Structure 1
Amino acid sequence: MKVFAFGASGSDTSINQKLAVFAANKLPCSTPIELSTLEADDFDLPLFTSQKEQELEQSTGSKAHPKAQALLDKIQAADVVIVSFAEHNGNYSAAFKNLFDWASRIEQKIFQNKPTLLLSTSPGGRGGKSALEIAEKSLPRFGAAVVGSLSIPSFHEAFNENMSMLRNDELSYRMDELLKTLSSHAS
């Protein structure tokens, strides 16, 4: 199964990246998992404006920023998508929103109707829940076939020492059930 999992952050130490990869590695699957991700550098592109888009087109002949196209290519190649949202002041991170804005200019249905699991975490007690709620409402309009969502509060206390399992039995059970559902929707 081809899995595209990433933390919607931009930080090279993103706990949401760690959560997305954790979830991908726990997917129940009878075949080996081919995992692709995003790194912090993948979010490093100019702040989207129509002027920047015009400048890009003038200099390259295309409005498609290569990093935005790479995001779309990774989604296209995947059987399933796992996104874990960092929360910045109650919303998506600016890094993700900017990449999302560039990509939506190439393909409005960014998620291309792929089965998508939405996650979030934070060091705090709400676990990035505000950003997750925004994603649950908005991403289906952009082609995300959302199969479920889960917020993991208090990230640093939520996992065992080597991050191989969740300490909270209820959260662990909910994660396992969501991963079974996601796996069952793989093409």
Structure 2
Amino acid sequence: MKVIAYGASTSSTSINKALATYAANLIPGADVTVLDINDYPVPMFSEDKEKEIGQAEAAKAFLDAIATADALVISFAEHNGHYPAAYKNLFDWSTRIDQKVFKDIPAVYLATSPGPGGAQSVLAAAKGSAPFFGGNVKATVSVASFYDNFDLEKGQPTNSAVADEIKAAVAKLNA
């Protein structure tokens, strides 16, 4: 099974990328590729810019990477209750090329934050809008208070309940 995973964040120390990487690597026998959205730079989307340059090459590359997957593991960062601007911009460019960005590929959606909210607002938005963009969400998990529940050095949860919830979620990709 080819799994594409990414954290919807541009942070070089993204906790969402760490969470997505951990979760994707729980899938037995998976060939995991972790994307970094910094590798897909696009200008700020506008209809004027789209008329000027056409389809953004980096958005095409992002879509091409997603299309290679048998499963997706995406962890959404949250900025003030919403997608980070850089991810939303890449996503907007991508939807102009193919509205069904996620191509009905089975997916687990995750979200985490340092605080007690666990990025639940952005996770709910992502799950709610998924059907419009070809999303096939099999499970969602929000991890609150990331640093209290995850060891970044070891790349794994320190909280067994969190670990069990993530394992159960990714198991649904094989169901």
TM range (shorter): over 0.9
Match of 1:36 among 22, 28, 33: 33
Q: Please state how far the C-alpha of 1:107 moved relative to its aligned partner.
A: 0.3
Amino acid at match of 1:23: A
What does residue 59 of structure 2 align with?
68
Q: TM-score, normalised by structure 1?
A: 0.88
Match of 1:178 among 147, 169, 172: 169
* Contact kept? 1:12, 1:40, Cα under 8 Å: no
What does residue 82 of structure 1 align with?
73
Paired with 1:176 and 1:13, the residues of 2 have a C-alpha distance of 23
Match of 2:121 among 121, 126, 130: 130
* Contact kept? 1:118, 1:146, Cα under 8 Å: yes
What does residue 11 of structure 2 align with?
11
Amino acid at match of 2:164: Y
Identity within the alignment, %? 42
Change (3 A) 1:43 1:129: farther
Count of residues in correspondence between the two structures? 175
Change (3 A) 1:45 1:155: same
Structure 1 gap segments, 5+ residues each: 57-62
Amino acid at match of 1:41: N
What does residue 144 of structure 1 align with?
135
* Contact kept? 1:123, 1:154, Cα under 8 Å: yes
Paired with 1:90 and 1:107, the residues of 2 have a C-alpha distance of 26
Moved more, 34-43 or 44-53: 34-43
1:43-58 equivalences in 2 (<5 Å): 43-56=40-53
Paired with 1:161 and 1:135, the residues of 2 have a C-alpha distance of 25
What does residue 156 of structure 2 align with?
165
Q: TM-score, normalised by structure 2?
A: 0.94
Paired with 1:34 and 1:177, the residues of 2 have a C-alpha distance of 19
Structure 2 gap segments, 5+ residues each: none
Task: Say which SS state the counterpart of residue 108 (structure 2) adopts.
Answer: strand
**Once superposed, what is the RMSD of the aligned Cα atoms?**
1.4
Structure 1 segments (4+ residues) deviating >6 Å: none
Which structure: larger Rg? 1
Paired with 1:81 and 1:36, the residues of 2 have a C-alpha distance of 10
